[in-house]
Structure 1
Amino acid sequence: MTQYTFPTGFFWGAAASGPQTEGDINKPHRSIWDSWFREQPERFFQQIGPQKVCETYDKFREDVALMKQTGFNSFRTSIQWSRLINDLETGEPDADAVRFYNAYFDEMISNGITPMINLYHFDMPEVLQKRYGGFESAHVTELFARFARTAFQLFGHKVKHWITFNEPIVPVEGGYLYDFHYPNKKDGKLAAQVAFNIMLAHAKAVRIFRETVPNGEIGVVLNLTPSYPRSDSDADKKAAWYADLLFNRSFLDPLVKHEFPKELCEILATHDCLPEMQAGDAHLITSSAIDFLGVNYYVPRRVKARESAYTLDYFTPEYYFENYVDPDGRFNPYRDNNEILPQAIYDIATNIRDNYGNIKWYLAEIGIAMDEESEGQPQADGVIDDTFRIRLMEEHLLQLHRAITDGSQCFGVHQWTFIDNWSWINSFKRRYGFWRLNLTTGERQIKRNALWFEKLARSNTLTISTPEGEQ
């Protein structure tokens, strides 16, 4: 057996979000997901929407007990803007939401679980999207800042770890480039405007946080997907450089390095996609300092130089490259054939260490997708056998431990997710949880991954069986 011990005080837990777990009971407003499902239920896998999901609103005490049983010392979820705020213009809170979130956070804290609370996980209130265009509008960045102030004032005395946005590029991609999020537009200029306004909303929230939660920390969670070229040719390497610039550095550089990449601005200008802004907006973004970075990682990005003409009538990053599938790659046979590349964890960590001031960071999401059929039914001991997931997590954590040994300041790991939860238009197509959610009964059923994780978290040590003959 070989043991790999992680730093003292390391965070072990899971990540989730309000809209994917709470259900819509007692919300004063619909989110865009509530309304989109009502408008186009056929877009959602098996026509399952966000109305019920995990019932966390009613079952949070039961769930926190299961978190503790699984060994968590921390947990990330989000506050729903459409739940907390009653008056979306003034930021006045809803009394029932205040009661619910206070009780939920208190339950975590009393069970030794540190809450990490995110403000935005893709869930724009419907009325703000319909009335203003959501983050197409600078006014909505002000409304977000009022929402943030309310949250900090209500819960900042007990919650000390805050996140402004989870994966801020995803609403840009899904809603304005690739049609997998509402409002289903395809417009490169609007995409750039939304991206800029999200960063502006982030910066305004950070400024308010500094005024209201002096003893806390605030960060942002980015999905950093390394871009690997098909070959060592100059053209393929340039394609990978473009992909990294447009998908990773577009948010990472302004929010961590405090600068907008010159090349990004030039590309946006070339395609008439530069965002509109007021004097001082860009400076507010680049002068806004975060305390930590969260990183979500699932799969690598493989790219090659374009070999065919770009045919879309609006700008997307693929103007500069084509996606590529590595014929020698390793793939997940259980869900969508996604590529598996644990080495990417080390590459992400060393990039943060070497190019972003070695900012402290944590692995905010990582998960191995399976479907319910491939996980199978509970075995004789009542445990669902997802050993496939465990073996792959061990490989990824080995790469993370190697990066920490080499000086990367990673302070935790949160797996996606605690209980199988609802996932946007995929609904329950993909399963990631430590615990299975029975969609009929609401029962939580333990998986072998949860038993493995409990030992890992309590010991703070990854123990790997060494094959016979190896040292």
Structure 2
Amino acid sequence: MNSNKFTFPKDFLWGGATAACQTEGAYDVDGRGLSTSDIHKFDPSLDRKKYRSKLVENEHTTATLERAVADKTGYYPKRHGNEFYYRYKEDIALMKEMGFNSFRFSIAWPRVFPNGDELEPNEKGLEFYDKVIAEVINAGMEPIVTMFHYDIPLHLLTEYGGFRNPKLIEFMTRYGKILLDRYGDKVKYWIPFNQTNLIQYCSFKSLGILRDKTDNLAEDQYQAIHHQFIINAKLKEYAKSLNPEIQIGIMLADCTYYPRTCKPEDIVFAMKRIRMQYFYADVPLRGEYPGHMLRYFKENNINIKISEEDKVLLRENTLDFLAFSYYYSRTLDSEKNTMDPASISENPYLTGNAWGWTIDPLGFYNAISQYWDRYQKPIMVAENGFGYEDVFEDGTVHDDYRIDYLKHHIQAIGEAVKDGVDIFAYLPWSPIDAVSSGTAEMSKRYGFVYVDFDDFGKGTGDRFKKDSFYWYQKVIATNGAGLSFNDK
């Protein structure tokens, strides 16, 4: 990437992204129910380098779920977040000061339907989002809303078994329609499911599957995903009838891969693994199951119930845009790795942070390009960022490392746009420091704004602008022209 002349589209959306389960707190206020994120206990003995390999082991059973709900002494950070529920005006004002013209956030399902299967919503919960959306719009930002971001009401696990049960199609479609009815004239961009492809790490918090309640985990996972595909299509169908301007998108966590070597076996193995990830966008964006997945199901004794009515619904209600998160790239070795999406190899050419997440802006450019070439659908960067254990001193954080990371990733977007890619939004994670999704740490910080809470929730909660705050402010003010795109 050696060109230094670049112009972003005039209507490009600059902003940031958060999630209710990592920011709001107030887990027991105004009738909110408990969710899958509320039982993620902080572990001070956590091995950061190994935590991703242990996420699957940490998925819950009925017994561990019950213990967590009954636990009165352990600290569960996502129940408290960064207090956005009480500080949303302050946080949105900080985003406005940075110059945001867009803000992606999620609505907490258990705040609207505490148990998930009620016929009528919790009005107190909706009133909170009335205020948040009004505040976002009054600040001159485009609200971008995720309907479900890792916070299934716990009742839907214990009573119904999570998304593998087709009853959840009814429950989440009802929830989604309530949101579209109430906010469809205010919110254009909607993402029903966050990072729908991360079943290797998130069977519990994304699919609601308890490990002691499944005899065939892979089959239950893919059946749950099929039900989420159907929900996407039903909400798209409803949105079209309600307001043709509403855009419904699919969101992935980027899992494109590099082959470890140019050995043909590595090349083909990486291709097959990449296709397994594209599958989660193929169905919502193309309207049908790809042949390689049908073959995979057959060869692995995975029997998915897909009706003819389902096929018509998917084909006639493809989604409008692709949103994806990108943090780091992945590498595969055909001799060492398996078809398990969590099985990856180290890349000797890249360095990373304390959690082992590699820094690879060229991988970002590669991912954007591959998605565009495959789908030709508008692209939203729904998350991108650099987690680090910041040092807070003299009332700020000098985070040159974050600035460097973001600068080169924005540069990658610029290169893609010059290629003709229709990419319309950049929403880095997270504007304000929040609790980590994977590790429940507060000390894994992404924000442009430092929050005075530690991993046990101790601190004032006060907000302080980091150096990156002023850097991103300049990027937005100049629509990207303030960056030097020939910097190495």
Q: Normalising by the residue count of structure 1, what TM-score does the alignment of the two structures yield?
A: 0.88
Residue 28 (structure 1) aligned with residue 48 (structure 2): no
2:265 pairs with 235, 240, 246, which one? Answer: 235
> How many residue pairs align between the two structures?
449
CA-CA distance at 1:279 after TM superposition? 3.4
Q: Distance in 2 between matches of 1:349 and 1:228?
A: 14
Q: Distance in 2 between matches of 1:179 and 1:159?
A: 24
Residue 196 (structure 1) aligned with residue 216 (structure 2): no
Q: Distance in 2 between matches of 1:343 and 1:466?
A: 14
Q: Distance in 2 between matches of 1:182 and 1:266?
A: 24
Q: Distance in 2 between matches of 1:180 and 1:340?
A: 29
| Secondary structure of the corresponding residue to residue 323 of structure 1 | coil
| Secondary structure of the corresponding residue to residue 324 of structure 2 | strand
CA-CA distance at 1:80 after TM superposition? 1.0
CA-CA distance at 1:384 after TM superposition? 1.0
Deviations 1:311-349 (A, max 9, x none): xxxx8457xxx522122x2212x4223211111222122
Name the counterpart of 1:63. 91
Q: Distance in 2 between matches of 1:153 and 1:140?
A: 19
Q: Contact between 1:4 and 1:463, CA under 8 Å: does it hold in 2?
A: no
CA-CA distance at 1:48 after TM superposition? 3.7
The one-letter code matched in structure 2 to 1:395 is: H
Matches within 5 A, 1:275-286: 275-286=304-315
Deviations 1:35-62 (A, max 9, x none): 4657349x9xx94432211111111111
CA-CA distance at 1:211 after TM superposition? 2.0
Q: Contact between 1:3 and 1:463, CA under 8 Å: does it hold in 2?
A: no
1:270 pairs with 287, 294, 299, which one? Answer: 299
Q: Distance in 1 between matches of 2:315 and 2:278?
A: 13
CA-CA distance at 1:141 after TM superposition? 1.1
Deviations 1:201-225 (A, max 9, x none): 2212212222223332221221122
Residue 325 (structure 1) aligned with residue 340 (structure 2): no
1:7 pairs with 9, 12, 31, which one? Answer: 9
CA-CA distance at 1:467 after TM superposition? 8.4
Q: Distance in 2 between matches of 1:452 and 1:181?
A: 40
Deviations 1:341-399 (A, max 9, x none): 1112221222223221x21111111001101xxx21234xx331111110121111111
| Secondary structure of the corresponding residue to residue 407 of structure 1 | coil
Q: Contact between 1:78 and 1:117, CA under 8 Å: does it hold in 2?
A: yes
**Hey, which of these two has a bigger chunk of strand by percent?**
1
Residue 362 (structure 1) aligned with residue 380 (structure 2): yes
Name the counterpart of 1:335. 354
The one-letter code matched in structure 2 to 1:126 is: L
Q: Distance in 2 between matches of 1:27 and 1:215?
A: 33
Structure 2 CA distance for partners of 1:107 and 1:466, relative to 1, 3 Å: closer
Deviations 1:165-191 (A, max 9, x none): 110122x22244999986356821212
Q: Distance in 2 between matches of 1:235 and 1:178?
A: 34
Structure 2 CA distance for partners of 1:353 and 1:148, relative to 1, 3 Å: same
Q: Contact between 2:164 and 2:223, CA under 8 Å: does it hold in 1?
A: yes
CA-CA distance at 1:429 after TM superposition? 4.3
| Secondary structure of the corresponding residue to residue 453 of structure 1 | helix
Structure 2 CA distance for partners of 1:3 and 1:360, relative to 1, 3 Å: same
Deviations 1:401-434 (A, max 9, x none): 0110010000110000011111235112421111
Q: Contact between 1:217 and 1:291, CA under 8 Å: does it hold in 2?
A: yes
Q: Distance in 1 between matches of 2:279 and 2:485?
A: 41
Matches within 5 A, 1:18-57: 18-23=20-25, 24=27, 25-35=29-39, 37=41, 39-40=67-68, 47-57=75-85
Query: Gaps (5+ residues) in structure 2?
Result: 42-64, 454-458
Name the counterpart of 1:460. 479
Q: Distance in 2 between matches of 1:211 and 1:278?
A: 24
Name the counterpart of 2:469. 450
Residue 415 (structure 1) aligned with residue 432 (structure 2): no
2:391 pairs with 366, 376, 396, which one? Answer: 376
Q: Distance in 1 between matches of 2:179 and 2:113?
A: 9
Structure 2 CA distance for partners of 1:385 and 1:36, relative to 1, 3 Å: closer
Give identity over the alignment, percent.
26
| Secondary structure of the corresponding residue to residue 76 of structure 1 | strand
Deviations 1:99-132 (A, max 9, x none): 1111110011011011001111111111011111
Q: Contact between 1:299 and 1:341, CA under 8 Å: does it hold in 2?
A: yes
CA RMSD in angstroms, aligned pairs only: 2.7
Q: Contact between 2:247 and 2:320, CA under 8 Å: does it hold in 1?
A: yes
| Secondary structure of the corresponding residue to residue 289 of structure 1 | coil
| Secondary structure of the corresponding residue to residue 6 of structure 2 | strand
The one-letter code matched in structure 2 to 1:443 is: D
The one-letter code matched in structure 1 to 2:128 is: F
Residue 163 (structure 1) aligned with residue 191 (structure 2): yes
| Secondary structure of the corresponding residue to residue 82 of structure 1 | helix
Matches within 5 A, 1:117-266: 117-170=145-198, 172-176=199-203, 183-184=210-211, 187-246=217-276, 248-266=277-295
Q: Which stretch has the larger CA shift, 60-69 or 338-347?
A: 338-347
CA-CA distance at 1:194 after TM superposition? 1.6
Q: Contact between 2:403 and 2:468, CA under 8 Å: does it hold in 1?
A: yes
Q: Distance in 2 between matches of 1:256 and 1:337?
A: 32
Deviations 1:20-75 (A, max 9, x none): 1111122432112224657349x9xx944322111111111111111101111100
The one-letter code matched in structure 1 to 2:242 is: T
Q: Contact between 2:388 and 2:446, CA under 8 Å: does it hold in 1?
A: yes
CA-CA distance at 1:258 after TM superposition? 2.2
Q: Contact between 1:175 and 1:182, CA under 8 Å: does it hold in 2?
A: no
